[in-house]
Amino acid sequence: MKLSIRKHLLAATTALVALAPAAFADSVLDKYTPVTSQDLLNPSKSDWLHWRGDYANTGFSHLDQINKETVKDLELAWAWPMADVGIQETAPLVRDGVMFLQTSNGIVEALDAKSGDLLWTYRHVLPELPKSWSYQANQARRQKNSIALAGDKVILTTPDAKLVALEAKTGKVAWEKQALDWEKGYSYTIGGLVVENTIITAISGCSIAGTAGGCYIMAHNLDNGEEIWRFNTLADPKNPKQGESWGDVPPENRWGGTPWATGSYDPELGLTYWGIGMPGPYAELIRGSGDGEVLYTNSTIALDVKTGELKWYFSHLPRDNWDLDAPFERIIVDQEIDGKLHKMLVSIPGKTGVAFALDRETGKYLWSKETVKQNVITKIDADGTVHVNEDLIPTAVGQPVHACTSVSGGKLWQAAAYSPLTKTLFAPLTEACNDVTPTQSEFTAGNAVGSVKFGPRVLPEGIDKAGLFEALSINPTQGDHVWQNRQRVAPTSSVLATAGGLVFGGDAARYVKAFDQDTGEVLWQQRLNAPIGGYPMSYEIDGEQYLVVPTGYSNSASSISSAFPETPLPNGNGNSIFVFKLPKN
């Protein structure tokens, strides 16, 4: 395998930086304690151990020092430029005063979470790809939440489809495992879910020519990376209906089905829940699947965490012809009403922007609710059967259809948050439409098999604001609008809900905002160096609450920027984190 000189130099630099903590007496790393299974089940409110704070993917902080009354006093504690360029979708983690920060291209840094001082850096040496492998190269530039904490290790998933266990105190490699073949196109763009002694991961690259027939959720041993089980989202011999849903298309001609966001986990039921992305090629005319559902694409699946056995699935968008995939975070919600505990799974799973609530024991449909303007789903039956607008299904190559939302509209990777205090889901959404035109294209190594042309993103008719922050009440029977905050520019970050009655999120205009959880009123805002991105989070050290706000380059900002030309995007990269806290007095 040929490696570039630049990457050799980076590896050498890493070795030096990784030794740096030994030079400091009383390093915060000296007080670092292993993350136990019990810690992951019930995280301390001072730490932030999961990409969304907990196994339920709530994105909720139990800290309340920063609240409706004090938020106006927030001040910058420290800031840090990230180690590399790329699409900024980072999810910082904090344990015992140490922040672990992942950056695209397989880079991990450990920082003192109180001072912002660098403790160590790990740079994964990546293979040098042929220049023609443009889509696969882009995969390395859009890693998100690609680390997890367990024991005394940081678990990294890499763009070349490896699992790497790093020593949390030094950044040195404890072990690494090649999970799948990167030369076929497989890569990791999301991090693992650690359950006891198991790392559950999901692979990407499933829309690349060489990965036909296989897109996987896998379990690996935490001690050495050995594979325990795998589930193929494109071919399930245990479910004949799954194969039939692809019509005459054999597994070796199926693409897509990518799980683009790390799943949630219910320890009582022993189930893990994952969202699955669109089918490929994008138009059924090209992929040859007819009017089938093309399972398990655009679905929620529930897997037994020990065996990988499928327990149930639910299809959110059958016959996807528009790349309106539904793979994003699934949130576990428990509510007791009239003495009965309702176990729900709630999400705005994808780009249609339609919210769904399911019974997470059975997969039974409970309700759905539209948010942004869309014209693809025409109705949803009482049993949850989703019907699509067949007038928007192209019947000829080169025939454009106008779909709302767009490939970059509705609900994207930016995660929603759920407050158990108010029983409300808060979501960042984008209003957008575009033309979608099927094309004939050659499938080549390292490139996607989309076979489609997307027109410019435009606002839906009658709408002049691209951005929408939405609050939905959540209960077992319905979801109602609590408030909507509309703005010209698109939201570009995930949102964080807190026990202080606030919801934090940011946008393409470089503003991070604190919304009143009850009314949607903006109580505080700060303009930073680049579009707000990644996953804002919060932690506590020595009785002080900190707020972390990532910034940087974002496809979510650039793809719809023509809708708000009065707000030009900054040149350059700007990938950084900004850390705020209240004054000591």
Q: What 8-state DSSP symbol labels residue 72?
A: G
Q: In what order do the strands lie in the sheet with 417-419?
A: 417-419, 424-430, 467-474, 479-487
Which long-range contacts link 8-13 to residues 24+ away (Cβ below 8 Å)? Answer: 8/125, 10/123, 10/125, 11/123, 11/125, 13/121, 13/123
> Is residue 112 within 8 Å of residue 159, measured between CB atoms?
no
Instruction: Give the integer Cα–Cα distance in Å for 245 and 451.
Output: 21
Q: How confident is the model at residue 585 (pLDDT cuts 50, 70, 90)?
A: confident
pLDDT tops 60 at residue 22: no
Give the side-chain half-sphere CA count within 13 A for 363: 18
- Domains along the chain? 29-581 (2.140.10.10)
Mean pLDDT of the chain: 94
Instruction: Give the integer Cα–Cα distance in Å for 65 and 72.
Output: 12
Determine the average pLDDT of the residues in 89-105: 96
At 338 the pLDDT is 85
Determine the average pLDDT of the residues in 359-378: 98
Q: How confident is the model at residue 1 (pLDDT cuts 50, 70, 90)?
A: very low
At 203 the pLDDT is 97
At 454 the pLDDT is 95
Counting residues of the chain whose pLDDT is more than 70, the rounded percentage is: 96
pLDDT tops 80 at residue 15: no
Instruction: Give the integer Cα–Cα distance in Å for 545 and 407.
Output: 37
By C-alpha distance, which of 252, 317, 316, 263 is closest to 287? 252
Q: E strand or H helix at 12, and its extent?
A: helix 5-18
Instruction: Give the integer Cα–Cα distance in Å for 278 and 221.
Output: 29
pLDDT tops 90 at residue 23: no
- DSSP letters spanning 110-126: EEETTT--EEEEEEPPP
At 421 the pLDDT is 96
> Is residue 508 within 8 Å of residue 570, measured between CB atoms?
no
pLDDT per position as a tens digit, 41-62 = 999 999 999 999 999 999 999 9
Instruction: Give the integer Cα–Cα distance in Å for 159 and 203.
Output: 10
Strands 340-347, 310-315: parallel, antiparallel or unpaired by DSSP?
unpaired
pLDDT per position as a tens digit, 442-476 = 899 999 999 999 999 999 999 999 999 999 999 99
Instruction: Give the integer Cα–Cα distance in Å for 533 and 577.
Output: 9
Q: E strand or H helix at 135, and its extent?
A: helix 134-140
Least confident of 20-34, 152-166, 491-505: 20-34
Instruction: Give the integer Cα–Cα distance in Å for 166 and 184.
Output: 26
Q: Under DSSP, is residue 391 helix (H, G, I), strand (E, B) or coil?
A: helix
At 557 the pLDDT is 85
pLDDT per position as a tens digit, 167-202 = 999 999 999 999 999 999 999 999 999 999 999 999
Residues near 567 by beta carbon (within 8 Å), at least 6 away in sequence? 488, 489, 508, 509, 561
Instruction: Give the integer Cα–Cα distance in Å for 563 and 491.
Output: 13
pLDDT per position as a tens digit, 544-570 = 999 999 999 888 888 899 999 999 998
> Is residue 427 within 8 Å of residue 352, measured between CB atoms?
no
What is the reported pTM?
A: 0.95
Determine the average pLDDT of the residues in 371-384: 98
> Is residue 194 within 8 Å of residue 168, measured between CB atoms?
no
Determine the average pLDDT of the residues in 1-30: 47
226 burial via Cβ count (<10 Å: 0-12, 13-18, 19+)? exposed
